[in-house]
Structure 1
Amino acid sequence: MLCAQPSWSRPDIEGLMSLSATLTDLTGDLKSCSQIPAHLARFLDLEPLTLAIVRLQRAPGGVITPSLILHASAGGIAIGENAVHFPTALLEIYRSTRPLPAGDALPLRPAPVYLDASHELIETAIREHPAFGRQVVALKTIDADHRLMLVVHRRGDLPSQPNTTFELLTLAANMLARLLRVPLETYTHPEALGTPFDRLTDREWVVLRSLNSDDGEKQLADRLSLSPHTLHSHIKSIYRKVGVQGRLPLLLKYNAALRELRLVTLLPQRTFEHAAVTG
């Protein structure tokens, strides 16, 4: 599933940010399968993650079941020589009571569903697509009229009339696998990360990403549900820790640090964009 020539480009970044609705952090023991260093993860607005995409079917009585699954797992990307395999597939499925228009935020929490590796869905996937393997699978998708939620068309790689659902899944999985490999490789050069940013707290990282907009402090405070005084204190703390005197120098320095990670654009605060593609 890995791409032999990982690289960053603007479409890759846009695709990654759009696919972020399908990225998930795993809890408990599974979390150790894909440790992306925390300060690097904050730069990329990622958590230790795994991706899979599913087409959902609604059975009589409202029961939702996945009809096809494919994975691109960070657990399948060897960190050093430690490739990770699990006997259980973890599915985290978002269930929505309404379709989500493009650009809508995702305020839902995942409902975990555990499937044994012998489950017929997984056995079928392995039989029909040997590359599927038996690694951990985590799904995040939207139940919206049986639609497959994908945005890989923004890379320009998605055929206008894809032949199969599997083709859609493969495109998305290959893209994520390539994107994941770059930060894992880049971490071997920690000096490229811009160490002043490592000192920021999680709240300061949220504030930092929100500063990449045209909003003034009052609008930002409202958006982040902070008092103007608290927001101003966070901003001053960020300036002090990073060693800048204002908003523009801060964003320029942040942008420069991102470029050293081979990113080509300043990542905005996380937004989720979805495109519904019928299988």
Structure 2
Amino acid sequence: MSGPPLRAVIADDQALVRTGFGMILAADGIEVAAEAADGAEAVAAVRRTRPDVVLMDIRMPGMDGIEATRRLLAEGGAAGGPDGTRVIILTTYDLDHYVYAALTAGASGFLLKDVTPEHLVAAVRLVRAGDALLAPTITRRLVERFAHRDEPAAPRRELVDLTPRELEVLRLLATGLSNAELADRLFLSPTTVKTHVGRILSKLGLRDRVQAVILAYESGLITPGGGGPPADPS
């Protein structure tokens, strides 16, 4: 027996974009719970409908998508779905500061609006399943940001709770590897990798892989152009 349909809110100031994305999602069995034309409407819609995923435009009048994302996720995603609503940022602007602002606000993914219908649907389902959209180009921008900052990395005490193997998985995860790629690299089963990733997120109090990548760079566990000291496999 299949579970309840995946539900989404589409927030964009262009009605044509909302309609187009809505048709794409509906054609794949994803219910559009509500639409919003600005950030304030998006926040209200999520609180009212408690969707699984929000497709959030960045540039909207009044409250923008970054602030709306920040507010929603500060509330635990307005308690939408079993683990709270997840946000995918959609924009026509492939700019560094938007990427970093969206990810640090708590977004689980970042897509350009020229995404194919198949990729859009896959992204919504992937994020709802608890994964994150961190394409290599986005990871590269994140790395470049840390490569050019002046302040030193701040050590994170939470890392001491990770086992050597979990630290190794976190380092590789921070380079943008998927679970399947991690399994191949570490000669582990996908199920074992998924278990390691889940434990890492739990121990560090993180929502998803995006936050794990940010923490890995902010803590100095991995450095731009390289990595941390080699882990002791266990």
* Structure number with larger C-alpha Rg: 1
Instruction: Calculate the TM-score normalised by the size of structure 1.
Output: 0.25
Structure 1 or 2: larger helix share?
Answer: 2
Identify which of structures 1 and 2 has the higher relative contact order when contacts are C-alpha pairs closer than 8 Å and 6+ apart. Answer: 1
